[in-house]
Amino acid sequence: MEIIIDVEKIYKEENSETAKLANINKYIEKALTIAGEGNSIIITGQGPVWLYLKLAHALHGKAIKLTYRSPVTGDITIFDHSPF
Classify residue 23 by its DSSP letter.
G
What sign has the CA pseudo-torsion 59, 75, 42, 11? positive
Q: Domain extents for the chain?
A: 2-80
Q: 83 falls in which pLDDT band (50, 70, 90)? A: confident
- Confidence (pLDDT) at 66: 97
**Cβ proximity of 41 and 15 under 8 Å:** no
Residues comprising the chain, all counted? 84
- Confidence (pLDDT) at 13: 81
Q: Mean pLDDT for the chain?
A: 94
Is 0.85 surpassed by the pTM of this model? yes
pLDDT in tens, 12-53: 887 788 999 999 999 999 999 999 999 999 999 999 999 999
**Cβ proximity of 64 and 38 under 8 Å:** yes
What sign has the CA pseudo-torsion 60, 64, 68, 73? positive
Alpha helices in 1-48 (DSSP H): 7-12, 24-35
Least confident window among 6-10, 22-26, 79-83: 79-83
